[in-house]
Homo-oligomer: A and B are copies of this chain.
Amino acid sequence: MRTPAGANGRRVQPMPEIKRQKTSARASMIVEHSGVIYLSGQVAEDPDADIQDQTRSVLARIDALLAEAGTTNEQLLSATIYLRDIANDFAPMNEVWNAWVPDGLAPARACVEARMARPQLLVEISIIAVGFAH
C-alpha cells in the first residue's frame, strides 16, 4: 500500500490495513478496516424458497461470513434490509430476523422495498459489524 508524502512534505502516517476476504472481480464478501467489517449484501442460496427460508439462508450466510471474519452476530453495528415485497414479507421476515438477533444486541437497522439482481430474490441484507483486533 502506498504511503505518499503529504502536500507539505511531512511524512504521512501509515494507514491501518484493509483486509479483504472472498474477493472476486466484482466484490469482496468481507472487508475489514480498523476493526470494522463490511459484508457484501447477502441473498438466499435458493432463490425459489419462500420469504422465511430465504431470510434463514441469508442469515446463515451472514453467520458464516462473520465467522470467517473472526466475529459473530453479537457484534453487529448496522443492517440494511431490502425486501422485494415489503407489504407481504415484512412481518414473516421480521419473525426470522428477531429470532436470530441475540437478546439486547440488535444493530441499527433500515428496511425498505427494492428489487434485487434476480427477480425471484425476496430479501437482501447488508451488514456492518465489529471484528476483533489482531
Which A residues have a C-beta under 8 Å from some C-beta of B?
A: 1-4, 6, 10, 12-13, 15-16, 18, 20, 23-31, 33-36, 38-41, 70, 74-80, 82, 86-87, 90, 94, 97-98, 101, 103-117, 119, 124, 126, 128, 130-134
Contact = CB atoms under 8 A, between A and B. Distances in A.
Nearest to A109: B27
B112 A82 contact: yes
The 3 closest A-B pairs by CB, nearest first: A41-B110, A27-B109, A112-B114
A54 B111 CA distance: 17
A25 to B, nearest CB: 4
B34 A34 contact: yes
Contact of A33 (B3, B36, B111, B114): B36
B114 A15 contact: no
Given A130-B15, A132-B15, A94 B38 contact: no
Contact of A106 (B25, B94, B119, B128): B25
A114 B116 contact: no
28 contacts: A3-B132, A12-B134, A13-B133, A15-B75, A16-B130, A18-B130, A20-B105, A23-B106, A26-B97, A26-B101, A28-B108, A31-B76, A31-B77, A31-B78, A33-B36, A33-B77, A33-B130, A34-B34, A34-B35, A34-B36, A40-B108, A41-B110, A41-B111, A41-B112, A80-B126, A110-B126, A111-B116, A112-B115
